[in-house]
Amino acid sequence: MAPPQSSGLRSEGLLPAVGVGAAVYFTLSAISLSTLGLVGVGAGVGYGVGSWAVEKIRQKRCEKQMEMLPAELKAALTQWHAFLASRLGRDSQPNPAEAEAFFAEFAQLQPFYAQQVQNFVHAHGGSTVGGGAYAEGRGVSSMQAGRVPVAEV
């Protein structure tokens, strides 16, 4: 009997296994990358929705605080906001020197309302004079934006 002939290649069965392994690896990698992409998109959407929800909650809290204020103070804050809006426009904020000058002018034109605003701001730890009020996010600059420091205290 003749000995069986060997083709000399010991890796004949290895090539299909490597091919199948590569196909499985590529498929799993593609699935992993798409899953990772979906997780990233979900995180981005979640962050956006979360930020929006926090802003809405903050806005509602501020509105509730405004409703609890005395009528005189509401009128004073409305007048101060209208005064600043007429001087600056709706979306701009004064620097500390401008805020101080605007409040001094407001106090000359409407002393009763200015006193109401000043008493309120001082009662809540703010200042209507100097850069400290502006830097802390209280006092004059927060009044300009229509926000009331009550929610911050």
Q: What pLDDT is stored for residue 69 in this prediction? A: 84
Residue 7 lies in a domain: no
Residues 60 and 78 in one domain: no
Q: What pLDDT is stored for residue 56 in this prediction? A: 92
User: Mean pLDDT of successive 10-residue segments in the chain (153 residues)?
Assistant: 56 66 76 77 85 90 85 88 83 82 90 88 69 42 42 35
Residues 43 and 57 in one domain: yes
Q: What pLDDT is stored for residue 130 in this prediction? A: 53
Torsion of Cα atoms, 81 then 84 then 85 then 91, to 10°: -100
Q: What pLDDT is stored for residue 108 in this prediction? A: 92
Q: What pLDDT is stored for residue 147 in this prediction? A: 44
Residues 142 and 76 in one domain: yes
Of 60, 57, 47, 78, the residue nearest 143 (C-alpha): 78
Domain count along the chain: 2
Torsion of Cα atoms, 91 then 96 then 101 then 106, to 10°: 50
Range of the domain at 24: 16-66
State the residue for tokens 């499985």. 24
